[in-house]
Amino acid sequence: MRSTKIIILLMVLFMAFSASLAMAESYNAIRDDYRSLTGSTQLQKKRVNWEKLIRRFDRFIQSNSGDQNLDRAMYLKARTWDGLSLASGSSGDARQALRAYDDMVSRFPGSTLADDALFHAGRTAENRLADKALAANYYQRIVTAYSGGDMVRQAQSRLKDLPAVPRTANVPQHQILPDPDPESVGSAPTLENIRFWSGPEYTRIVLDLTAPVVAKPVVLGGQAPRIYFDLLYTRIAPTVPSEIAIANGLIKQVRAGQNDIQKARVVLDLNRESEYRMIPLQNPYRLVIDIMGEPSQAAISLPGGGGSPRANQDDTITDILNEKADRIPVLHVPQEQHDEGVRLIVVDAGHGGKDPGAIGPGNILEKNVTLALAKKLAAELRTQLGVKVLLTRSDDRFLELRERTAYANKVGADLFISLHANASRKSGAHGTETYFLNLSKNDKAAEVAARENGTSLHDVGNLEAILFDLMANAKINESSRLAAEVQQALVSGLKPHYSHVRDLGVKQGPFHVLLGATMPSVLVEAAFISNPREAKRLVSATFQKRVAASIVNGVKHYSASIDQVAKR
């Protein structure tokens, strides 16, 4: 009898030990099993092997939100779904792979694996779903947002054989679309999945769909506040639960039900009356609902229902700008620790499209100079610092000034650098200067800001009145430090090679292009395009490369300085 008790006790201890090992399972262990599965034809024949691995990735992702391998784990989870779709031939598995790829890119746009994920998503859409338009969209996202990545050539090659990517429709926020004609509906949209994520300022609910839907929201107050969304001509997949508990202090639960053959209804039961925003997205089709308000602290950053911290999954600059009325900028929340340092930098080429910027002798356009300089700076940053770099524009297109920092906020940039060429009514004016956002008490700085903003000095004065509300978010101290390092590096980097390099210093100004940035941000005036001597330099590839290399040195020094501050 005693021996039996001992055996039972040992079994309990063994099970507890095994459970603790499972909870503490490392990324490397799961990765090794992924390699074993993908390397064995025999193992791949059993669906259960794929599904077990996916569940292990899910547990790791949910339990290790700060792990340095989290982007790799999300990428391999997507690759596992992809492999399962190849083995099973199921289009449903292929769509799950696309969602997993999108989730990974959405959460880690600066990862070195982001462009790989987009490329594999394109191949899956092309080969397993036979959706050439969707595949072209994925490849175009690589070309647009990851022009310096290692997948861009392959993406460009695939685009040659596929149809052009259609422009994303601009659907205004809260718009109630007209009811479709029942005779022309065809296959009804299906609600396949409901996901959610709690952020510090809102909770995001994502409805995964097979086709666009007409959504009619209704807000109900009182003692049991709720918002429900009628999805016309939509059916609910059997796998979607009728109730999903959230209980984060803002939303009690989400309920889904088939009201009748004409519509499905999704109900959000709230703890209190709250504002909301509805965002229709495509490729794949989703309806994103943001409930504004602060959830309980314990709920923040806990994804549910397979959710992603960023359900807004279209990350190309073109898509962001085309759908700006719908989109909620996902604010960058700087890390309290600086262990990771600078990982993602957004470089902004000033002006573009219908806005030529300043015009120099011989019809030299500032927009062309800044684009060439931005591309060289991006290449140098990637090579010298090994960081991810995204461009607000990679061709001659017009972007609103506020949209540039909105993009940087969305992708979670660590730094924002806007490149410009200076101009003056005096052709002899020359030199280089760097600006950061602050109240302008300098008439010359205000004049430069007015020119770059495309406004008058009077408008600049009005702008100063609202800057007080933005100071807390402008990262003034870090921006001034970054500006100082960049300016010093520019002067020291150019003086050995050129005469008359004048140090105009670091200045403060109310620049629209820097407003709203939630990361350290600077505006660099590399030289005066209005000065004949400096205009010739600005169009020189050698000068552009030296300016780029100098700015990189400034970023290096800035990174080292914040690291020292963090370790004190």
Averaged confidence pLDDT in the chain: 77
> Who has greater pLDDT, 327 or 217?
217
> Who has greater pLDDT, 505 or 213?
505
What pLDDT shows up at residue 261? Answer: 60
Hey, CA dihedral for 361, 363, 367, 372, is it positive or negative?
negative
Query: What is the pTM assigned to this prediction?
Result: 0.42
What pLDDT shows up at residue 186? Answer: 36
pLDDT tens profile 81-100: 999 888 887 777 888 898 88
* CA–CA separation, 111 and 179 (whole Å): 41
How large a percentage of the chain has pLDDT more than 90?
A: 30
What pLDDT shows up at residue 526? Answer: 96
Q: By C-alpha distance, which of 199, 228, 195 is closest to 209?
A: 195
Q: What pLDDT band is residue 313 in, cutting at 50, 70 and 90?
A: very low
Q: What pLDDT band is residue 410 in, cutting at 50, 70 and 90?
A: confident
DSSP string, 504-544: EEEEEE--GGGTT-SS-EEEEEEEETTSHHHHHHHT-HHHH
Region 94-111: mean pLDDT is 86
pLDDT of residue 465 exceeding 70: no
Region 149-162: mean pLDDT is 88
SS (H, E, C) 83-130: HHHHHHCCHHHHHHHHHHHHHHHHHCCCCCCHHHHHHHHHHHHHHCCC
Query: In the beta sheet, which residues pair with residue 521?
Result: 416
Beta strands 521-528 and 415-422, pairing class? parallel
* Amino acid (1-letter code) at residue 464: E
Coil, strand or helix at 444: helix
